Structure formats: structure tokens, C-alpha cells
Amino acid sequence: MLLDGAKAMRISLLIALAAFGWIAVYIEFNEELRRRIGDGAHASAFLSLFVGLSAFITAFYFRRLARIRADLAQGKPLARWLVARGDWDAFAATEARETEEGHRATLFIILGFAVVIPAVLALILGDAQIFAVISLGIMAVGAIGFLLGRNAAKAHLRYRDGVVSVGEDGVLVNGVVHGWRLPGSALVGVELDESATPAVLAITYAFWTRGGRQYVTVHAPVPSDAIAEARAAVDRLQARAEGRAPERTPSKQTAGFLAMLAVGGLIVQALPAAAQTDDWQRFKIDEASVATPPGWRAELTEERRTVQAIEPRGGREVRVWWWFPDEPLLGYTDEIAHDKVTVAGQPALRVHTRFEGRDTISVTLDKPRKDGKRLHFLFEAQRRLDINDPALMGMVTRLTLAGWATSNTSPETPDAVDVSGGDAGAAAEPEPEGPVQRAELGNIAAVVNGPRKNTIIAIKRPIFVRTLETYHWNNARGRKPGIIALLRPDGTEVGRWVARGKPGQGGVPNAYWEADVNQRLDEGSYVLTTSSNETWATNAGVGWRGFYSMDYQLLRQEPTPEPLSGDAPPDDPQTNGTSPDQTDVPVAPTADDDPARPLKPGETQTLVFYQGDEVLPPWSAFQGQGGKFKDHARVESGALRVRVPEGSGNGLVGLYSEDSLLWLDSLRNGGEAVLTFDFDPSETSGFLIGLSTHHNLNGNEPSNPRFLLHWRRTADGKGKATLIRDYNATLEKEALAKAPRTVRLVISEKGVRVDGEGLPADVTPWGDLSEAQGFRIYAISRPDKNGEAVSMALKRITLSRKGGEKLAADVQPAQGVAPLPSQVLFEGKPGALWQAAGLHADQEAKFVAFRSAAMIADVPEKINDWAMAGLLTAKPLLRFNERIAKTPYRLILTLDPRLTTGLRIVFSGDKVQEMWGGMAGAFRLIRRTQGEMAGKTHLQIRANGGPYAVWDRAISSAFLDRNWDGRIVLTIGDTWATAELPGIVSLRGTAFNLGPGASKYMTIYSEPEKEYQPSRLVLRRIEGGWVTPAGMTAAERWTLVDDAAFDKDRFLDDLAADLDAPSQPN
């Protein structure tokens, strides 16, 4: 109870005093009151007597409760501890969710009755209007009760002082007191669940009401340093709780009445039992003959496919049926014990669980019959059960299958069931060595349920697996943890492990399943599976396999074999945890299906983006300019088939990627990317395929910069092809009248070349084909002319990438010419160029400190929605003149990678602390720890504040931690910019507007992962300078230095020398 007992006692006494005062007034002025209000005076006196007595009794109740609270708060309880805010929030989130589910279920029951009962009465008695009003009234009362209950639950779970105090007579949890040393109350049970995080203490007590005995279970989180204290309190309270009944002292008359009721009840209860035979009753369900205990009410239900038996007194019940294993039997958090038993000569699994005071024991045959079903016993009671309960054991021992009895042992000998739990033999002790590494398959794109392909882990050398983790986002609902298993390709099980749940993004419960494996895996291929593959996350980016991660160590004694072929994709140090130059990669990383994976020189990658099935992320259904996807498109026979009728404008229908899918890595020195579109020529009369750097709204044609190929069949039966770069058609030629079966866009440094039957093979130069640039992909229908009918049948989209040869060392100027200078702009100390700042001004700037040769912005949680702090330049940092047209400007920032949660760098022409709305460019680095993006770090570039010029690329946070030295290199041109984590990943954006005359201030802030979360940035150094062009001559160098460093005489000398120098051959 949250209410102060002492205050409630005083209020109750005041109410009693007022009631008795009115009675005194009634006695003193009886005749006058009767004359003025008539018989209402008698009624008011009687009501006052009832209220006064009730209030007086209630005051004594609250007095006792106040004493319990005082003893718990100020005395010496059995145990007392303090719960930190973070542990309380984690506990409260789980508690609130479970309470909300209970309240919601109750509300639905009330609403159901409010609809069904008045409706039936209205049909029988008529006058539907009256019953409709009654129905609405019941609904309103139920809704008010639901809202009041939810608000009360929220108030109880709101963090106050976090103190938990456990005593002999009650418990105080975060300011809420519960007592069981009150009239009619008793302590029922105490449990400590140490498997939860944090551990949870559960205390159940009971009290009497007019409706009978009511039970309340109080939960309290227990921090790790208070476990021992909590255990001692549990032991003390359990001794008091065992066998104790609620204290209630009825009157003699009440006791006699209750005794009569009890005797009558016993007689009534005995009648049906006496009518039955003392023998066990038998029921036949297919091959099984099931016996039920004497005296139990037993019957065949569910079309005679289930045996159900209920104990008349005692509350036990059992059901037996042939069960199809559609969910795991093990792996749930409410499991108490499980073992192997023998039933009817067959091995079976026995499982004992407990949830909210209800015990369940199941016994299930291991071996299914031909239809896959297994015989399943489900034994339950709203109390504690012994796993060897005589009734259940009697049923099990009497079971016969196909007429063969398991045993002639009497039901009094439950040990007739062969309990054969035990290890099958220990494996040889593995010898893991070196650090724990990670192999993972996943990406940051949206996910759907249910992998379409086997998730294969290819092992190149023996390893020791520590943990396996799978992802079950399940539309933000998660899934109760079950089993994670590994199979050999022939289906033989290697091992299965019980998973525990971990929250995902936004606190989604059980979004991650993690299992401790601690088992050796030898060289070979293994199929990963779960007990809930239907909720296992997948998407096209991982080839429709399941998201997973695996932590492992190498084994010392085995030599390294040759890499496997077949299912194992090429090596990817980003996903398997090895260093970039390591050639011995023991786990073949299936995350090679991630299109955002950085491609290194000489590497190749082949991806299937789309294969004629449902349009799912990363694809979106496209429709516009008269085309309607719902009406004009269908997926059929392995293709997306579009038929847009005449009179539908430009009839744009198909698919596109809202985010970049094609990344140009290692493009220089021979790199190439080939994007292949496969069509069904017989059902294709016009299509528009291509690339765009920018995001665009659904329905609009691809934004500039862009490259498009438009093929269509004209009204006269001829074919026509048009190549479009940016705003203009660069080439239009006659093509074959039949649509090409395959079209390839071959992308290299030279430009884009179209490869397809009857299509122009000209190379179209395109300046945006640059290293690390990302592109959106489009494939949509389009006729020759507006209003014409058009059709398209798209069967497949694939991408193959090849990294060029490794480049030589860093770009150098001409021999004897010094590189362009750079200068240190920040080195851990405040100065004239920098000032502490925050996104919300002084609210966050106070969290900036300069120490240990670094700027440390450490913003705690809940300071603001997006709380950020860091530095603001006192004057423009970027001052561009004509040099920006010749070479870009480069900033090199050095952070502490381990201590930085995320950062945001924004440039603006205005000196303001919040630059986002009027930005001239932004760069972000954000670590994700929750939800579908957990375990990834995002590098992002924005050219402006709009939603179109945005590029985002993700990399494994674990790989980043092992390999990143903390440097971020920003290279800024007049219309483009790149962000690079050297040796790891780079990203390019276009459409910047930073030409000559640009003058921009800069902020660099810590950035949290989510609203109201803490953020931290540790910045050690910023260095800036113009990039030295390759082969820069001495005279060219003078045109790129600052005005203060320009020497006209030396410039003329160097210019003359350049003019006199012999020209170099082409």
C-alpha cells in the first residue's frame, strides 16, 4: 500500500467521529430532524452507525499497518537493501508488462460479458434500448476500473527511494508497504528467483474478504550484493509460512453456520465420488489406453481425442492427448526441473514448471507415431505439486500402448517409472586458446519473420563455441525463449541448448535468444535452427537466412586446413572477428550477404537481391503517375508481374530500395560492379531500371544524380532504348522489339555500360561513380508514351562486385615538392577557436570538461530528449576560396573509441548551438546496442537537413572495437564529402553546396543512441588542411597555400621551372 498508514488512520478516525457526531445530533434533536427531513433522519442515523463502526475498525487496521511501516523503515528488519535506478527500471518494465496483460485480460472479459449477456436478454425479453444502455454502463465501469488499476500500478512502480526492507510482519518496497500480521491475513510463501536479472524476491500473502480468501504476490528486485541477505530472509520467512493459515476468529454463531455449510458441502461433494467405482477408469484414444484415478470426474473431450480428469477436491486435473510438437518442451524461465523417464517401454521427457502459483508436470513420449504426434500428459494444480505425484505416476504406470501394459506395479509405487536422467558420457576436454571471437550474420535493414533458407555455419578448423545467439524481433513482440540447436547436413543433431531471453530495441522482451554452448565443433558445415523458426528474423540482405551471432575460440592442437567451398561465402573480417590482414579465418562468415560490407581490393562478392518473390525489405513496392501496385502488380510463377492498363498515365509500378544497396568499394585500379536484371520477355513491354544517389518519395522518378535505362516497345511495334544521366537523355537508339531477357549495368571508373541483347553498349561517363558512394536501385514499368498500356515481368536482380587491385602508397606530389601543410586545430585544451556548448545550450554545456589531454562530454540520462554536449567553433572553421575547386579540404579527428558512445558533427553558416535545421552538412557515428540494429555502429553523411541526401552504412561494433584506432577522416569537396574510418569503412555523399566563398561554423557533440539516454564523447585531437593533389608541382603548390604563406617571387621561379621542364609522355 502506497498510502501512509498513520495519515489514513487519522482520516478514518475523523470519519468515525463525524458519523458518531451525527448520531449524537440525531439523538438530541430527533423530533426536529424528523419534522424537517422525515424518515430520512432514521436512515441517516443507521447509515452513520454503520459508517462510524467501519471507520473505527479501519482506523485500527491502519494503525497496525503504520506500525509495520515504521518498523520496516526505522527498526531492524530481517533484510534491507537499496535498488539502483537502472535495476529498478529493468524490473519495473517487466512487472508493468505482466500487470498490464492481466488488467487487459480482465477488461476483455468484462467487455465480453457486457456485450453477450445484455444482447441475449434483449433477444429474449425485447427492449433492446434499455439493455444497450446497461451494456454501455458496464463497459464504462470496466474501462474506468481498468484505467484506475493501470494508474495505480504505474504509481506503485514509479521509482522513489529504491529501498527494500523485509521484516517478520511485512515488506516495504520502494515506499509501498505490505503486511501479513493484520487481522485475517497470513504469510503463504516466499521465493527468490536468482535466474532473473536482477534477481527477484516474491512474497505471497493472503487475506479474507467477503468473496473468500484472496492472494497477493509482492515482487522486489534484489541487487547482486544483497543476494546473501535476501536468502537469509527467505529462509526465516519460509519457516513461518509453512502450514500456516490466515488468522481469523469468527463468532460462535458464524462458526456454527460455517460448520453446517462444511458438513453439507462434504455430503454433496461425497455423492458423485460414492457413485463411482473405486477402480481406475480406462479410456481409449487411438493406440493408447489411459487410466484415470478413482473418484476423479473423467471424460473424453475434443471429439473423443482427449482424456480429461478432474479431482473433485484438491484442485488437481490432468489431460492426455496425442500432441503435435509445435513448440519446445524445454527452455522456459518457469521450469523447475526435468528428467528422462520410461513410459510404456518408451523413453519420455518429464518437465515440472511453476508460474504464478500454478504447478504443471508434463510427460511426453520421445518417439512420435507416423503422423508426427506424441502422447502427452499434462498434470496441473493451483498449488505446489510433487514431481512424483501418486495420481500422475499411477496413470503413467497403467498406460498401455497397442495393448501392452508397462507395469503391474501398484499405484502406490511411483518409482516404477524408470527415471534415467544422466550424462551420456563426457566429450574430450577441448583446448581453446586466444581471445573470444565472433561470427555473425545480420544487418541494420528491416526484418521479417521466418528464414527461407537454411542458416549454415561452415567451420574451416575445429573451434570451441562459447555462445550462440539468434534474433526474434517478431514485429516488436519478441518470443519466449526456447531451444537453439545445431544439426549436421543429414539432419543428425549435434546439440541443443536452452536459450535465455534478452531485450531488444525499445525494451522488446526476448528479442534476442542466447544460449551457452561450451562445446567443440569440428571442421564441417552445420545447420543452425531454433524452436521458433517462424519468429526468427531474416531479410534479403542475409539471403533470407536467420540472423545469428556465435562467440568462439580457436583450438590449439589442430592445424589449419584449406578453406571449405560450397556453402561458405568469402571471408569477411568484419563479421568473423579476425584482423583485416589475417588469412586464417576459421569460421566462414555467412554475413557476406550484407551488401553494405566493405569490399577490399581483390575481393569479390555476389548477392541475390530479388528472386521473383514477395516484395520485402530492403525493397519497397513502387507506384506512381497512374500506376497502382495493388491493382496492377502480382507475384506469380517466380516473377513480379506488372500489367498497367491503358489510360493510366506513365504507369510506374515495380520496386525500389529506399536506402543504398549498391556500394562502390575498391573501384579504382580495375574495380567493377555488375547489376543484373532478369525479365520474362513475353510479358514485358516497357521498363525503367537504374541507379540514384538520393532517396526519393515513392511515386517520384529517381532523383538526380541518377543513371537510367528506359526500354519500351512503341506503338508501331519497334523497340526503343534511352540512356538518361541526371537531367538529360544522353543516348536514344532503336532496339529490338522483343524485350531483353537479361540486362546488365556494368559500373567502373569509366562510367556505366549497358549489356543486353539489342541494347546500346556505349559507356556513359558519370562523375558520381566514386569510391564509397552508395546508390538506390529502381526497377519499374514505364510505357513509351503517357497513357499507353505497359507490362513488365521481373524475375531476378543480382549484384556482383569485384575490388580493384591494391593501390600504391599514399598519393604524393611531384618529386622534391613538399606536401601541403596541415595544422592542429584542437589538442585537448580549450582555446580561442573552441567553446563548450550543448544542443540545448547551458543544459548540457556544463557536462563538458577538459582533462587528460582531451575534451570529455559526459551527459547523464534524462537531461533532455536528445541530450548532446561538446564544442562549438567561435569562428568559421571552413573558409573556402577558389582552392576548393582544385582539391578538397580534410579534417582528421582522433577520439577515444572505447569511451565514445556516438558523435554528431554539423556545419552551418550560422553560429548557433543547434545547427541541424540549417545545416550545410553533417556526419554522425552512432553505436547501436538495442533492437534490430544492436551490435552495429552506423556511419552517416547528410548533405542538408532534408530526408533525401542521406547515406548510412553500418559495421560490426565488435569488429570496430578490435580494429579501429579512433580516427575519423572527413574529406570535403565543393559538391561532395566522404567520411572514413581508416582501414575499415568509408562513405561518400553528394549534393553538397560548399563552393568558393563558403564559410561554415562547426559543432561536434556527443550523441545518444535514443532519447533521454546518456551520451559520451572523448575528443583528443582535430587536424585540418588541404589535400595534396597527386603529382602536384612546385608552382601548383603556391596556388593552394594560404595567402599569408604565398611568396610571389618563389612562385614565379617555380612556374618558370615548370615551363622549362620537359613534358612527360602520355
What is the pLDDT at residue 145?
77
pLDDT-derived band at 2 (thresholds 50, 70, 90) equals: low
Give the 3-state secondary structure of 873-928: ECCCCEECCHHHHCCCEEEEEEECCCCCCEEEEEEECCCCCCCCCCEEEEEEEEEC
Cα torsion for 575, 581, 585, 587, to the nearest 10°? 0
317 — alpha (psi -120 to 50), left (phi > 0) or beta? beta
In the block, which residue shows the cell 562468415? 589
Give residue 1061's pLDDT: 67
Q: Got the DSSP string for 376-399?
A: EEEEEESS---TT-HHHHHHHHH-
Higher pLDDT, 52 or 880: 880
pLDDT tens-digit series, residues 526-542: 889 998 888 999 988 78
Looking at 104-108, 241-245, 472-476, 526-530, which range is the least confident one?
241-245
CB proximity list for 861: less than 8 A, separation 6 or greater: 867, 1012, 1013, 1014
Of residues 512 and 420, which shows the higher confidence score?
A: 512
- Quote the CA–CA distance of 830 and 955 in Å, as a whole number: 33
Question: 52-56, 119-123, 386-390, 967-971 — which is least confidently predicted?
Answer: 119-123
| Residue 313 CB burial class (10 angstroms; 0-12, 13-18, ≥19) | exposed
**Do residues 338 and 330 lie in contact, with contact meaning Cβ atoms separated by under 8 Å?**
yes
Q: pLDDT class for 246, splitting at 50, 70, 90? A: very low
From 204-208, 285-289, 589-593, 985-989, the region with the lowest mean pLDDT: 589-593
Cα 32 to Cα 27, 39, 47, 117, 361: the distances in Å are: 10, 12, 19, 48, 71
Name the phi and psi angles at 687, rounded to 5.
-150, 155
The rounded distance, in Å, linking the Cα atoms of 466 and 489 is 22
C-alpha distances in Å from residue 144, one per residue of 110, 138, 140, 141, 149? 12, 10, 6, 5, 8
- What CA–CA distance (Å, rounded) separates 780 from 800? 21
Which residues, including other chains, have CB under 8 Å from residue 544's CB and lie 6 or more apart? 451, 452, 453, 538
State whether residue 1010 is helix, strand or coil. Answer: coil
**Rounded average pLDDT over 601-623:** 88
Cis upstream peptide for 618 (omega within 30°): yes
Concatenate the DSSP letters of all residues of 455-484 into one string: EEEEESS-EEEEEEEEE--TTTT-----EE
What is the DSSP pairing of strand 672-679 with strand 639-644? unpaired
Contact assessment for residue 778 and residue 692, using Cβ atoms and an 8 Å cutoff: yes
Instruction: Write down the pLDDT at residue 946.
Output: 76
pLDDT at 330: 72
722 — pLDDT class (breaks 50, 70, 90): very high
CA distances, 842 to each of 35, 97, 344 (Å): 72, 37, 76
H or E element that contains 414: none
pTM over 0.85: no
> Partners of 240 in the beta sheet?
none
Q: Pick 43 or 487 by higher pLDDT.
A: 487
370 pLDDT band (50/70/90 cuts)? confident
Task: Round to whole Å and give the CA distance between 982 and 987.
Answer: 11
Strand, helix or coil for residue 1033: coil
Position 1 scores a pLDDT of 52
Q: What is the DSSP letter of 592?
A: G
Hey, how many other C-beta atoms are within 10 angstroms of the C-beta on 657? 26
Q: For 156-169, what is the mean pLDDT? A: 86
Count of CB atoms situated within 10 Å of the CB of 476: 13
Please report, for residues 33, 470, 552, 982, 1060, the alpha-carbon distance to residue 577 in angstroms, rounded to integers and kept in the order given.
90, 18, 10, 17, 55
Using a 10 angstrom Cβ sphere, with 0-12 exposed, 13-18 middle and 19 or more buried, the burial of residue 326 is: exposed
Residues 910-941 have pLDDT tens digits of 999 888 878 899 999 988 877 666 778 889 99
Closest CA to 378 of 289, 318, 299, 305: 318
3-class DSSP assignment, residue 214: strand
- CB neighbours (10 Å) of residue 483? 19
Of 504, 530, 569, the C-alpha closest to 930 is: 504
Tens of pLDDT, residue by residue over 632-668, are 999 998 899 999 999 999 999 999 998 899 999 988 8
Residue 511's φ and ψ, nearest 5 degrees, are -70, -30
DSSP H or E segment with residue 727: none
pLDDT at 491: 67
Question: What is the pLDDT at residue 431?
Answer: 62
Question: How would residue 333 be classed by pLDDT, with cut points 50, 70 and 90?
Answer: low
Q: How far is C-alpha 815 from the chain's CA centre?
A: 56
Q: What is the reported pLDDT for 331?
A: 62
The answer to whether the CB of 817 falls within 8 A of the CB of 1037 is yes
Written as nine digits, the cell of 490 is 543429414
* Spatial separation of the C-alpha atoms in residues 717 and 737, rounded to whole Å: 6
pLDDT of 860 > 90? The answer is: no
Please say if the pLDDT value at position 710 is more than 70: yes
**Per-residue pLDDT at 556:** 65
**Strand ranges (E), 78-174:** 79-82, 163-166, 170-173
Question: How much is the pLDDT for 278?
Answer: 41
Q: Give 782-809 pLDDT, tens digit per residue.
A: 999 999 999 999 999 999 999 988 876 6
Measure Cα distances from 552 to 99, 542, 592, 722, 867 in Å: 39, 21, 19, 53, 37
Spatial neighbors of 387 by CB under 8 A, at least 6 apart, are: 337, 350, 352, 361
Q: Which helix (H) or strand (E) holds 439?
A: strand 432-441
* pLDDT value, residue 968: 95
Model confidence at 245: pLDDT above 60: no
Q: Do 532 and 482 form a contact (C-beta atoms < 8 A)?
A: yes
**% of the chain surpassing 70 pLDDT:** 85
CB 920 within 8 A of CB 993: yes
Highest mean pLDDT among 111-125, 294-308, 992-1006: 992-1006
Distance of alpha carbon 654 from alpha carbon 701, whole angstroms: 12
Q: What is the pLDDT of residues 349-358, one digit of tens each?
A: 888 888 877 8
Using alpha carbons only, give the angle 513, 516, 519 rounded to the nearest 5 degrees: 130
Helix runs in 795-881, H state only: 842-845
CA atoms of 1055 and 1050, how far apart (whole Å): 8
> What is residue 615's predicted lDDT score, i.e. its pLDDT?
84
In 10 A of CB 118, how many CB atoms?
21
Q: Is 142 helix (H, G, I), strand (E, B) or coil?
A: helix
> pLDDT band at residue 238, thresholds of 50, 70 and 90?
confident
Asked whether 769 and 664 are in contact (CB, 8 A), the reply is: yes
Predicted local distance difference test score (pLDDT) of residue 593: 65
Cα–Cα distance measured from residue 688 to residue 708, given in angstroms and rounded to the nearest whole number: 7
φ/ψ bin of 213: left (φ > 0), alpha (ψ from -120 to 50), beta (otherwise) = beta
Q: How far is CA 25 from the centre of its chain?
A: 67
Hey, what's the cell of 27? 439523538
Residue 261 has pLDDT above 70, yes or no: no
Q: What mean pLDDT, rounded, does the chain reach? A: 81
